[in-house]
Each structure stands twice: as C-alpha cells, then as structure tokens.
Structure 1
Amino acid sequence: MEGALPTEIEHRTLETLGTRNFDGQIDGPVTAHPKFDAATGEMVFFGYQATGPGSKTLRYNVADKNGKLLRNEFFDAPFAAMVHDFFVTDTHAIFPIFPLTTDIGRVMSGGPMMAWEPDKGSHFGVIPRNGTAQDVKWFSMEPRFMFHMMNAWSDGTRLHADVTASNATQFAPKLDGRMADAADGIAPTFRRWTLDLADNTGTIKETLFDDWACEFPRTDDRVGTKPYRHGYAVGSDGGEFVNFSHLLHYDTQQGNARRAWTPGKHYMLGEAVFAPRVGGTQEGDGYLIVLGFNQDSGKSELFILDAADIEAGPVAKALLPLRIPAGFHGSWVAGG
C-alpha cells in the first residue's frame, strides 16, 4: 500500500531532506504519481484510503509552484480500492476506481487484503482543478485495470485519458482464490478513455489503439495535462507482458501509429525517460534514456535514442559492468 508522506530530495546532491507534510496540513498517504502543470507550475496529487487502511476516502491536493498547499479535499469512492495513478488535465482531475478492492474485514476472516472483484465495475470521479468535494461527478464503465497513464487533456466538455490498461489483473486473486488469466485480458495495451461532462448518462467511451502488450507510458513532460502528439512505452510484440524487450513510440496525430526498436528479445527494458534537447522547444525534440538488462550477459546497458527516430537505434550506449536491479520509474533533471 502507498501509505507514506512524500520524501523530499535535494535535486543536485540527491541528499534525502526528509518527509514533506506541507506545514502540517497533510498527515496521510500520498501516491507515487503527482502531476505537474508546466503552464502554472502547480503540482496536483492525491492519497487513497486517506483516513486509514481499508477506507474508501480519497484526498485531493494541489500545491502552487512555491510549494504552498492550495487544495485539500476529501471525498468517498464507491468502494475501497488500490488507486496507483490518476489523470489531470488543465481543467480537471480524474480518479479511477478499479475493482482491485481492499477489505480489512476480509483479512480478519482469513481472506486476502486485496482481491479482484470485476462485478463491481470501474468508476471515475471527476473534480474541477479548483473544485471542492461537493463538485465530484462520477462516471462508470466495464471492469478495467491500470497502473499507469500516458497523458490526459481537456477538449471542451470532453476529457481524454491515454493509458496502458487491461481488462483484468493478476495483482491479486479473485474472491474464489483463482487468478485472472490471459482469457480474462490481463495484458495491458494502449487505449483511450473519454468522458463527456455534458453526458448525463455517466458513461465512458473506450478506444483501443494497439494489440501489443505495453506498460510504463511516458511523454515529453512539458506537455503534461495538455493535448500532445508523442507517447512512449516499453512493450512486447508477442502479446506477453512479462519481458518488455521493445521501446515503442506512438504518434497520436498519425492514427497512433506505432514505431518500435529492440536491442534483442533477450533484453528487458525499463521505463523510457524523455530528456529535452538543449535549446529545443518543440514537443518530442530530445532523447529517450532507457536502461536495459541483457539476460545473456547478465549485465545492464544504458541506451540513448533520438526520440523522433527510435527505429534508427541508439545514438549512444553505455555498457555497465554489472546488473542494475529492475526498477519502475525515472526522472530527468537538467544540470546547472
């Protein structure tokens, strides 16, 4: 569970400065995926099970560019669930509640802490960026699961979220103890969810873009919360999602055409981090930095690719003398 306050790190020395509670205004959990609005400098973040383990309460927060807390709103989801990531546009924040449930009573009776309960469906709570708990509006769709989102943006009354998501998950068993399998749709794929605030039916439209299994979606961070063109992920061409050996580039203005590069199927690639080219201002003008594990040599390699032409392969590569343990995420911070 993601039950801790955020940890502050000095970005030049990487020294740990300690936890950050925003002058004592936050004393509950904060998740690992805050969103940053490059236009305003605001950080939008949240915590789930915000009033204690097993609670269905979410906490919505906004801090300004100077770190001052602007929003601290609490509201209840339909049920207690794991909510690892969320969506933020320039106008709204969207909280996806998938049927990966948490139940303390279930644990006390000998059951699992978390369980996959697809009959509960998926629900999305939408709040204006400057709104309060009373402004939350709920939408629903079929059972889905998502760890990570690519990007989200507003288009009039419509809100779009591009994600790597699946129809089921093996993160926890079903109530009967069985695990979901390939037939349930456990492989995450690139897709879009659209919510229309003017639609009183509260439904969500889903558009599938690709059948390759993929995860760890990223963009050029400068376009977060805004319409974008270039998305990146790691994936597999065989529908499997255990060994992501391919780096993927999706062009959302060219029918989400997929481009791919792989150093070989014996590699396992980590999340690609975008680094802007020095002096570059256009979206996607920069490099992708990817750590790969060579399962034949037992050592890791660092690849740097031109983000505009990943099919050309790396423009630079560093051979490391050891294996870097697999991780999840990374960030690019410019020097100086």
Structure 2
Amino acid sequence: MKKVAVLGAGSWGTAIAFVLAENGHDCLIWARRSEQAEEINQRHSNESYLPGMQLPHSLKATADLAEAANHGDVVILAVPTKSMREVCAELNSILDSSKLVVHVSKGIEPDSLKRISEIIEEEIHASKRDSVVVLSGPSHAEEVVLRHPTTVTAASSNMEAAEQVQDLFMNPYFRVYTNNDLVGVEIGAALKNVIALAAGVSDGLGYGDNAKAALITRGLAEITRLGVKMGASPLTFSGLTGLGDLIVTCTSVHSRNWKAGNMLGQGKSLEEVIAGMGMIIEGVRTAKAVHQLAIRYDVPMPLSEALYTVLFEDVPPKEAVDQLMKRMKKQEVEDLFGNR
C-alpha cells in the first residue's frame, strides 16, 4: 500500500483517486472548496462532477493543500492547465520532502509554450521532486468509475518512475502501459482536444461520418508533424495517447471539447459556449498555443489554424470549412511528413 495525494477534485481527479482507493492505497484528495471535501468525506460522492456515483469509503478529502501534498511520497496533479503553474509554485513552498510527481492534465501553456512537465520542473525545485511522470490516454472519468476497461500510458524519461506509476494503478479494469517519450505523450494529449473541438464543429454543422473520419485522420497528421518537429517519436502518435485519445475525444458524448465544438457549429459564440459548459474547455486555450507553436516550428497545421480563426477571429464555421476544402492539392503521404 502507498500513501498518495491527488490534487484536484474535478471529474478526472476524482476518478483517479477512485482507482487508487480501490487498489488499496491510502489516497487523500485535495478539493479547493471545503464543502466539496466534506461531501466526499461524509456522503462519499462528488455530485458536481460525477453525479450518481458512489466513491470508496476509504477515499478521504481535504481542502488543505499542505496536508494533501505532504500525505505521502506520490503527488498526482489533476488541476487544469491554466492553474498548473500557480499550484506548482505553492507546492514548492510547502512540500516537506521530495515527491514522485505525476500529472494527468492535458494542455500547453500559451505564450510560454511549455508542456506541463516543463512547468512542473520550472516551478518545483529539483530538491522537492523526484522524476516527473505523465499518465495519459483515452479515458473518460465517467467510464472509469463504472469500472469499464480502460488503457492508458505512464510516460517519463525515467522508466523506473513510469513503472512505479504503472504498479500504482494497474487492476482488472485499468491497464497501464509505459513509454519513455514524454514529449510525444504530452503533445498528443494536448492537441487531441483541439481536433476534438473541430470534430464537434463539424457535427454541429450537420456533416456526417465522412467529414469526421477526415478530421480525425488529418488531425492526427498535424499532431504527428508538430510532435516530431518538437522531438517526439512518430510511433507514439499511433498509440494510446495519439490515435487512441484522438478517437475517444472526437467521438464520445462525454467529451467536453466535442460538446463545445458542437455548440460552436450550431451557431453559438465562444462566450456563450464557455458560459454554457460550466467547466474548463482545455482545447480552447490549447488552440492558442498550437497556433503559436505552428509559427515557431514552421509546421503546416491547416485544421488547427481553421479552428483558431473560428475561435478567435470570428470566422463563421461554414466559411472555415469551405476554405479548408479549397486548399491546393497535395499528396497524402508526403503531406504527412510536412510538405505544404
């Protein structure tokens, strides 16, 4: 049994804590709001994020970040990307010993263009953290807590640390693979949200399966082009954190990025979509970062750029699709490797 802290009591943080508690670990989850921590402790539920689900009675919660962070030897970060730097800076001031740091968030910081593992390494001093591991893959919280079969990847430059995380989570319904391509896993996890927004827009416009298949396929080509340029292995993008995560996020009713795109395709403004969702839409923020990365690395990303114009330049979705379809002719395989 390990003592593990999960920082963040949203849907995914709660599902992660659910798995750890079911595996017999002493898991303490941190919630920003004391009333949410009280609900988990007393009613063994988290109705705001996982309605109708009963949580293990052994799972405990606290609203005290220092208490949670120093609970054990493993700290799992399950906070939104936009909060990651702030939370890590606070951790740096309160950690009382070095911890194995795991993150389960999916995004890239705009402007700095840092991946989440890079933010962690910048904000938490090396003396207070061991290796950094990312746990990622096609995994909706709503299905994990129903114990539906789920497979994910633990990635780190330190394979021993990745295997420690693998051992923490493995059980009959939650299977974990390992990978040493930290860059590829984080890029795939972040960019699939952008393509899922585009897939939602397509469905909102009333287009069918042909369009969605094209979006997923060409979206994967864009993700691979950028990832390889940033130093990732192309093989990673055919795996769970590339193609696998892209499929589930572009097609599932549980995907908030798909839902947001669908609302955009139906004619709602970005402001209306954000207000209506009530939860973080990681793909919106990541779309800005992808726009900046495409410029920095001189990588053609027409799908992502079209979505960027819809989100931030008020281009109507139908017009953005028309512009994509009118692009000059290409060879498919050569285009995958970066030809314009």
Normalised to the residue count of structure 1, the TM-score between the two structures is: 0.30
Q: Greater RCO between the two (CA within 8 Å, min separation 6)?
A: 2
The answer to which structure has the higher strand fraction is: 1
Normalised to the residue count of structure 2, the TM-score between the two structures is: 0.30
The answer to which structure has the higher helix fraction is: 2
